[in-house]
């Protein structure tokens, strides 16, 4: 039991260092049965002294069936914009925001082609945005500065 208590701080330190320095964005595509079909790994570039500001329009795109999803800016200082192209007029999208522990922080149904999610009241951290459109689902990692 004592050996586990000696190893535990080492494991926690390793996990935290990977979370801080190994930032990557993962995008997943699922089939109609909920099985993951595809995973895109997008490494995030290290910040320079010029740094990224929230006016920099860094945009991530993904196809979800016939629909194209654009999410920007990422990282953000407050608001995340999500645009849907080719969204069927009668189809709603469910958008959930989770912290890294899996707690649901925000949830909204969207019928329009553009939505803005305000993260300004949340602390600086990495969050997961889940988008469900019909029977398709995708997840995005978003960094709040």
**Residue 24 pLDDT:** 57
- Any domain includes 100: yes
C-beta separation of 59 from 42 below 8 A = no
Give the rounded distance of the alpha carbon of 109 from its chain centre.
17
Beta bridge partners, 30, equal 36
C-beta separation of 123 from 99 below 8 A = no
C-beta separation of 117 from 105 below 8 A = no
C-beta separation of 37 from 135 below 8 A = no
Residue with tokens 């079909």: 37
**Residue 36 pLDDT:** 63
How far, in Å, CA of 118 to CA of 89, rounded? Answer: 24
- Any domain includes 50: no
Query: What CATH number should be reported for the domain holding residue 108?
Result: 2.60.40.3080
Total tally of structural domains belonging to the chain: 1
C-beta separation of 77 from 145 below 8 A = yes
Which helix (H) or strand (E) segment holds residue 17: the answer is helix 2-21
- Any domain includes 51: no
- Any domain includes 97: yes
Q: What is the tens place of the pLDDT at every residue in 81-130?
A: 999 888 777 778 899 999 989 999 999 998 788 899 999 999 999 999 99
Structural domain including 127 reads 2-45+56-144
- Any domain includes 72: yes
Give the rounded distance of the alpha carbon of 22 from its chain centre.
15
- In a 3-state reduction of DSSP, which class is residue 7? helix
Residue 20 has pLDDT above 70, yes or no: no
**Vertex 82: Cα angle to 61 and 28 (nearest 5):** 45
Q: If you average pLDDT over each of 8-17, 29-38, 50-59, 71-80, which comes out highest?
A: 71-80
Residue 145 has pLDDT above 70, yes or no: yes
């Amino acid at each position: 039991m004592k050996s586990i208590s000696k190893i535990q701080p080492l494991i926690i330190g390793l996990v935290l260092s990977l979370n801080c320095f190994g930032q990557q964005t993962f995008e997943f595509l699922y089939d109609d049965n909920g099985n993951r079909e595809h995973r895109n790994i997008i490494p995030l570039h290290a910040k320079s002294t010029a740094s990224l500001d929230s006016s920099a329009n860094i945009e991530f795109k993904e196809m979800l069936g016939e629909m194209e999803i654009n999410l920007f800016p990422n990282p953000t200082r407050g608001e995340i914009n999500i645009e849907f192209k080719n969204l069927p007029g009668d189809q709603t999208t469910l958008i959930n925001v989770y912290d890294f522990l899996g707690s649901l922080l925000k949830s909204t149904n969207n019928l329009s082609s553009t939505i803005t999610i305000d993260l300004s009241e949340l602390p600086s951290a990495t969050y997961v945005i889940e988008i469900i459109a019909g029977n398709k689902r995708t997840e995005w990692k978003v960094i709040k500065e």
